[in-house]
């Protein structure tokens, strides 16, 4: 099972978001042997009237791609309504070129109402729009010339020049039945988040994914399963979320939780560290090494 980490591109830990912190964390993750690093894609996050700021996702991802050598770089996930789908595919192909073929293009329909309002984008028909985005983006990334006439997108003879040098994997974040069907139809990878130790809710969601794959006649082995998890350093203070959505405890206990995810059939675990410190990262790396 591969293991990656979310980069500290926001100020949720009370530390201002800045490039130097993101760069250093990404380099430490790579040097420590992790398989991937990931960015979020938000204008900001608002909760209880407070806004958390963050660096822009695509710009940060591309910069990380340029300063790292080995780790996969991904988005969990790019909010598809924020960008024209042809431009989005072009940006992905360019970022993959910058990375030397290490990009995972995560896509989602979006969900956070305050930033939609701030950008003047309607929350209505998000899944309908997403269902049109996926064939456009995946077709372009696979080297096709795409013409698509839909309710929300009208694309005429679009293509990527230069063409992508490889098949860039597309990851879809999905939970509900229609999004799971779209995942089965178009995606190379799937994500669900956020969890602590594996539980019955996660197992039920995995069952729903398998049903969607069966309905599309797709071999489950052709889809990479990724799960986002919260990992907390107990010596840093109280966990920010309820214990049932947080993996805490000793390094040995964290290693056992990683092993449980591997047994469950998860291909790639994506960790959101709490707090976003070198110590939390070092604990994750140590647990990964124990779990081998």
Give the tens place of pLDDT for each residue, 215-265.
999 999 999 999 999 999 998 877 776 666 889 989 999 999 999 999 999
**Predicted local confidence at residue 243, as pLDDT:** 60
pLDDT at 50 (0 to 100)? 87
Residue 52: predicted pLDDT: 87
| pLDDT at 48 (0 to 100) | 85
Among 267, 285, 269, smallest CA distance to 277 is for 285
- Model pTM greater than 0.85? yes
Q: What is the pLDDT of residue 244?
A: 65
Q: Residues 153-169: pLDDT tens digits? A: 999 999 999 999 999 99
Dump pLDDT digits (tens) for 35-45. Answer: 999 999 999 88
- Cα 124 to Cα 131: distance, rounded to the nearest angstrom: 13
pLDDT of residue 223: 98
CB atoms within 10 A of CB 166: 12
User: For position 93, which CATH number holds?
Assistant: 3.20.20.30
The reported pLDDT for the residue numbered 13 is 79
Which residue shows structure tokens 């995942």?
183
CA distance 89 to 99: 15
The stretches in the chain having pLDDT less than 70 are: 241-244
Average pLDDT, the chain: 94
Give the number of domains in the chain.
1
Task: Give the pLDDT of residue 164.
Answer: 96
Query: 227 is in which domain, residue-wise?
Result: 2-291
């Amino acid at each position: 099972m591969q293991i990656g980490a979310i980069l500290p591109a926001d100020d949720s830990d009370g530390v201002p978001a800045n490039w130097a912190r993101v760069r250093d964390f990404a380099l430490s993750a790579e040097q420590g042997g992790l398989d991937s690093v990931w960015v979020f894609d938000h204008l900001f996050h608002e909760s209880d009237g407070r806004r958390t700021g963050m660096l822009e996702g695509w710009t940060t991802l591309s910069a990380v791609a340029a300063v790292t050598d080995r780790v996969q770089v991904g988005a969990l996930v790019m909010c598809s309504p924020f960008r024209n789908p042809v431009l989005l595919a072009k940006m992905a192909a360019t970022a993959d070129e910058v990375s030397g073929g290490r990009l995972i293009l995560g896509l989602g329909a979006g969900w956070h109402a305050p930033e939609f309002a701030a950008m003047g984008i309607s929350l209505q028909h998000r899944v309908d729009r997403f269902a049109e985005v996926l064939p456009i983006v995946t077709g372009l990334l696979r080297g096709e010339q795409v013409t698509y006439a839909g309710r929300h997108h009208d694309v005429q003879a679009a293509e990527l020049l230069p063409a992508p040098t490889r098949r860039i994997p597309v990851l879809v974040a999905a939970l509900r039945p229609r999004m799971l069907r779209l995942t089965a139809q178009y995606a190379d990878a799937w994500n669900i988040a956020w969890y602590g130790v594996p539980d019955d809710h996660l197992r039920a969601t995995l069952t729903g994914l398998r049903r969607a794959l069966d309905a599309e006649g797709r071999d489950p082995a052709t889809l990479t399963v990724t799960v986002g998890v919260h990992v907390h350093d107990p010596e840093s203070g109280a966990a920010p979320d309820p214990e049932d959505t947080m993996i805490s405890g000793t390094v040995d206990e964290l290693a056992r939780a990683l092993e449980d995810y591997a047994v469950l059939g998860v291909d790639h675990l994506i960790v959101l560290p709490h707090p976003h410190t070198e110590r939390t990262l070092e604990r994750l790396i140590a647990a990964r090494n124990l779990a081998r």
